[in-house]
Chains A and B, each alone.
Chain A
Amino acid sequence: MYQSLAWQLTIVLVLLLLALFAFVVSQSGSREEYGPIKDKSSRIRLIVFALLFALVAPLVGFSLTSLPYSAPPNRQGEPEIIDVTGGQWYWIFSSNETTVGTPVEFHVTSADVNHGFGLYDSSMTLVAQTQSMPEYTNVLYYTFTSPGTYQVLCMEYCGLAHHGMITEFTVNPRTTGGAR
């Protein structure tokens, strides 16, 4: 969802900027007195600043209300803790499967250099990630909503076989009476 939102927003904003530059450049052939143009520009600058602040500040504030750094407040059920260690060039999981709906805590660390723990769904869309760091453990909270075979890719350059650091992670469908 965020990927397509970012893409669409970028296209729209870049096109708007392009149109603005094209308009001003198209008007640059004739020459008029600079003073009134500057005054008008100062007023526009003030309006743009005010508008940007009014639009962006609430958005930034809202986006900070739901951060990945702690367990979601609406998390239901006992979390399943899965220890993950990245190394040159492998992944070790304490368990490589879970069930749809089970809140999972990936405790991610590294045995050597920095790696990136990137969780891809079965359509190869990145759904969550955290850094896999030596001497530290990052906790990634994630609850799978779809069953299937997920892929874990290394997202931080770690040497020669960085691109080969792929492993599978299975998410099983929820069975009646299964874990939530």
Chain B
Amino acid sequence: MSIGPMSMSNGAKKLIFSYVAIVAVVVVLMMVFGLLLRLAQGGWLSMSPQFFYQLLTAHGIGMVGIAALAGSAILWYFLSQYVELSTTILATNLVLFLSGVVFILGATFIGGFGGLWTFLYPLPRLSLSIWSDAAAVTYLVGVLIVGVGFLLFFLDVGRAIISRYGSLGRSLGWPQLFGGDQSEAPPPTVVASTMVTIINVAALVAGAAILVMSIINILIPDFTVNPLLAKNMIYLFGHTFVNSTIYMSIIAVYEILPRYTDRPWKSTKPFLAAWTAATVMVLTVYPHHLLLDFVMPQWMLWLGQIISYLSGIPVLLVTMIGTLTIIHKSGIKWDAASSLLVLSVFGWAAGVLPAIIDATIVVNMVMHNTMWVPGHFHFYLLLGMIAMAFGFMFYLGKAERNREDGAFDRLAVWIYAGGGLTFVFAFLMSGAESVPRRWAVHLPEWMPYDRYGAVCAAVVVLASVWFLVRYISSLWSPVEVRAEATQEGN
């Protein structure tokens, strides 16, 4: 394994570059939206509550969608070494994604929809005429279109994996894990892709079902849904889909760090066991979003807490220790890509800590829906998932365009890491002070945290703009062609 261009068709490569370019642009744009929200909460920017909630809706759905797009680009790029994926489906997903985005942006900024990305039933229909039914339906249809694109994407990934390995059990390494099969297990990328395919097909089907039910509810108000069932379906979809973005993006760590250290990342038995356990746990952990719905069956709430503790451990711990092992005394060359990828594993591991603490029922009672929650998910998304995506972006420039780091690149990584860490602590601090989340107007005593957060967010935006500029400029560099490139494909 060496750092060099991947063997794949020009069309596929162009699509991957397009995916990543869109990711870079949209991530920065969504970060700017987030910065504006923090400025408004801090009283430094005048913004009407209506626009605040529209912007919050766009920020939330935009970040979730673009994280999934980034993860799918990483997954496709590396998985294509092992299985035969459809370039047509890759393109279809992108077209559907962009079409859905048009619907979502139209619904939000023209139609005034501000029901947040979670579209918690029955809020889309009941806004007290703040937004129209048409705006709500347009938003939900937009999300549905994006979801259909990703469903096609994962169905194709599942098809390709089954064609190559025979079954999803085999591609999860079950013969090696349970059957005493001594042959080499499927590579980490295949194992991770299998897990993500299983959880996302389930999540997307649940999401599509509740989206359709919500749309019908708006068009025919007599058609109602049990609100508790709707909540369960929304969080099953939302939690699983967002989590999957990390499980897709972590493939960048499994594939790129071995190339930097010249050390293999193998699917050992603990690795296989961890991913199998995570497959079940990620799908069953979502009740931790419902710990304050006291009418839920209590066993589900117990499960929500217990699995929150357990699900953080297998893949995360195995990956974290694996990362530290592979770089320890490796003579690794530190550049923007490798630094961001190691940062991402730290960000993921550290960000999960406040999340697990919040999943403790007695703690959740006083921290649920406070700023603690965006504190922990920004931690593992900004410093974890998005850092993985930026790391992959730099790697693409290096491997495919022979682009070396400039003087400012590593400094920008430090700025991103420092700004990001202080930014998430602004959220966590205000959460510990009981500041509620998703409030357009803050009390004066809460504003110092918002202002501190806004300054840190501006620092993160600056570093991210630099990453974006570097990536876009790399697209004009000549394509790298190496003789050994063809040896890497199978």
Contact = CB atoms under 8 A, between A and B. Distances in A.
Residue from the set A3, A56, A135 with the largest chain B CB neighbour count within 10 Å:
A3
Contact of A139 (B128, B294, B361, B432): B294
A27 interface: yes
B369 A21 contact: no
A89 B203 CA distance: 32
B451 to A, nearest CB: 18
Contacts of A32: 329
B228 interface: yes
Interface stretch (A77-85, A95-103, A124-132, A170-178): A124-132
A162 B441 CA distance: 10
Nearest to A61: B306
Interface in B344-380: 346, 349-350, 353-354, 357-358, 360-363, 365-370, 372
Residue from the set B293, B358, B369, B370 with the largest chain A CB neighbour count within 10 Å:
B369
Contacts of A29: 331
A2 B366 contact: yes
B219 interface: no
B434 A126 contact: yes
Residue from the set B49, B227, B302, B328 with the largest chain A CB neighbour count within 10 Å:
B328
A63 B306 CA distance: 10
A89 to B, nearest CB: 8
Contact of A13 (B353, B361, B369, B433): B353
Given A44-B321, A126-B370, A159-B127, A113 B122 contact: yes
Contacts of B115: 159
Contacts of A42: 270
B123 A136 contact: no
B277 to A, nearest CB: 12
Contact of A17 (B120, B346, B441): B346
Contacts of B227: 114, 133-136
Given A3-B366, A17-B349, A45-B270, A133 B432 contact: no
B123 A6 contact: no
Interface in B196-250: 226-228, 231
Interface of A is mostly: mixed
A67 B434 contact: no
Interface of B: 49-50, 53, 114-116, 120, 122-123, 126-128, 130, 226-228, 231, 263, 270, 292-295, 298, 301-302, 305-306, 309, 313, 317-318, 321-322, 324-325, 327-332, 334, 342, 346, 349-350, 353-354, 357-358, 360-363, 365-370, 372, 428-429, 431-434, 436, 438-441, 443, 445
Interface of A: 2-7, 9-10, 13-14, 17-18, 20-21, 24-25, 27-32, 34, 37-38, 41-42, 44-45, 48-49, 52, 56, 60, 63-64, 66-69, 88, 112-114, 116, 118, 120, 124-131, 133-140, 153-164
Top 3 A-B residue pairs of the complex, sorted by shortest distance between their CB atoms: A31-B331, A41-B325, A7-B432
Given A2-B366, A125-B433, A135-B228, 9 more contacts: A6-B358, A28-B334, A30-B331, A64-B302, A68-B361, A133-B293, A138-B295, A157-B53, A158-B123
